[in-house]
Copies of this chain bind each other. A is one copy, B any other.
Amino acid sequence: MPDPPGEGAAERPAPGRRGRRWLLAAALTGTVPLVAIVAAAVAAGSLASGGGQGPVETGGFLQLGATGHFFLAAAAVLAAARAGGALAQRVGQPRVVGEICAGLALGPSLLGRLAPGVMDWLFPSAVLAPIDGLAQFGLVLFMFGVGRELAGMRLRGATGRALLVSQASMAVPFALGALAAVPLAAAFAGPNGSGAAFVLFMGCALSITAFPVLARMLTDLRLLRTEVGGLSLFAAAVGDGASWLVLAAVLAAAAGSAPMVVMVNGVATVLVVALFLGPVKRLLGRWAQRAGGGASESLVLAVGVAAAAALTAALGVHQLIGAMLVGLAWPGTAPGADTGPVGRFIRVADQLTATARNVLLPFFFFGFGLTADLGALDWTGPALPAFLVLLALAVAGKVVGPGVCAWLLGMAPRSALILGALLNARGLTELIVIQIGYDAGIIDAPMAAVLTLVALCTTMMTGPLLRLLRAAPEEEPRAPDRRPAEASR
């Protein structure tokens, strides 16, 4: 770009002086400064050696400061997530399964068992707090994304059948989880997990679906535009919305406060939810239409998410609920759409959610792995029966509940089974619920580990189960009339 041919010659025509000017410029701006710098350094060096103010640190080879060690730990967490994700993809599993396993492996479950010295050296307690900051920030941005996806599903496909299947996909596993929790409460309840709170939390834990994993699986299997795909997404969205509401109520009740505090917090929470879904959503929408922002939408998003998280945390509901509310209220909730001034809001939200999902969530998986010590589970005690019962009920509740419901309402048996298998993937969202329950003191660490195993097993069985169901004869009965419609999109 600089110095196009002939430029400048018109202003200074004298041709003979040109060489001298170049020399002068080079000397003035190169040689003279260099001499000055060397002179200054030498002068200061001799002054300092006179003053005797010597170096303080006595660094040896490869001495990492606190920040350097933080980056070493961060690199280990991210590299493990990358390796785990690639490995999972190679064996036909969603990447997130591998990333979760990598996070667990770096904690006491594996690395701490095999080489506790390495774990202590790699992750000294000083690096855990900054890593937690990245994990928490990534989590709220991720939950913001979940809220957006839920909001985007709100009105589409709300037929009677879809609503009934949604209800089944939530209520049946919820009931099974709650029933199973009654005998488990004595052994696995956390300090705040008194009676009803533990039972309702376990219901939530079994009824949640991994919305993002589900959506990616549907895309991978080319099921997104089929009846089963649409129905499962709708059921997951409505069912998860209901489960999060129940979870919020459970958390408010379990906060261990006086009844008066619980009541006031509960009313305040309802008001906050109404505020976000009503006035805040309208205001944001109007602001997006005016589109004054200019590169500050992402900052507004981050402020909103952090403030809402702090607000709901103060009300005794978990901070992630607040982040989800901002996602529900964010303008242009349908991800991918890109029309007019609202497009900027959509792009910024997509960008931040993608960053959180790809780069920050591994830090959450690592932190989660520090909590859920799978190796510390006492398999001779109640952990083994609890795991087996919960796994069986989790699968039964998701596959049988909505499956039977869809079959009763006229769906082919195989499609009904595929629907159930899809809803059975709990993945990452389940981990978030577990972390919330553990943070709130509703479940103890062994139950967190047991539920983690349930989450991993149900997520990992989804792929093979679907391949099995789809490999059987009479595949895709609606294929002939679906293909042209798909091609035209």
Contacts and interface: CB of A to CB of B under 8 A. Distances in A.
A179 interface: yes
Nearest to A14: B410
A157 B3 contact: yes
B136 A32 contact: no
A441 to B, nearest CB: 7
A370 interface: no
**Which applies to chain A's interface (DSSP): helix, strand, loop or mixed?**
helix
Number of identical protomers:
2
A134 interface: yes
A303 interface: yes
Interface stretch (A270-278, A309-317, A333-341, A372-380): A309-317
Across the A-B interface, the 3 shortest Cβ-Cβ residue pairs: A130-B133, A68-B313, A55-B256
A295 interface: yes
A54 to B, nearest CB: 6
A310 B164 contact: no
A162 interface: yes
Most chain B beta carbons < 10 A, residue from A29, A32, A95: A29
A450 B85 CA distance: 48
B178 A2 contact: no
Contacts of A71: 136, 140, 306-307, 309-310, 313, 319
A313 B69 CA distance: 8
Contact of A159 (B3, B70, B185, B231): B3
A428 to B, nearest CB: 15
Contacts of A162: 2-3
A354 interface: yes
Contact of A33 (B72, B86, B172, B185): B172
Contacts of A48: 185, 189, 194-196, 198
Contacts of A408: 21-22, 24-25, 28
Interface in A346-378: 351-352, 354-355, 358-359, 362
Interface residues of A, number: 156
A182 interface: yes
Interface string A189-226: 10110111011100100000000000000000000010
B196 A1 contact: no
Most chain B beta carbons < 10 A, residue from A140, A176, A185, A231: A185
Contacts of A33: 171-172, 174-175, 401
A186 interface: yes
A333 to B, nearest CB: 17
A273 to B, nearest CB: 17
Nearest to A43: B182
A75 interface: yes
A313 B256 contact: no
Given A302-B359, A313-B68, A178 B59 contact: no
A51 B182 contact: no
B47 A358 contact: no
A234 interface: yes
A264 B355 CA distance: 38
A472 B30 CA distance: 32
A27 to B, nearest CB: 10
Contacts of A294: 89
Interface string A399-413: 001101100111110
Interface in A27-60: 28-30, 32-34, 36-37, 39-49, 51, 53-60
A479 interface: no
A439 B67 contact: yes
Interface stretch (A5-13, A281-289, A383-391, A457-465): A5-13
Contact of A409 (B25, B136, B234, B354): B25
A306 B75 contact: yes
A410 B11 contact: yes
Interface stretch (A76-84, A109-117, A144-152): A76-84
A53 B47 CA distance: 71
A161 B256 contact: no
A26 interface: yes
A196 B338 CA distance: 56
Contact of A61 (B130, B174, B264): B264
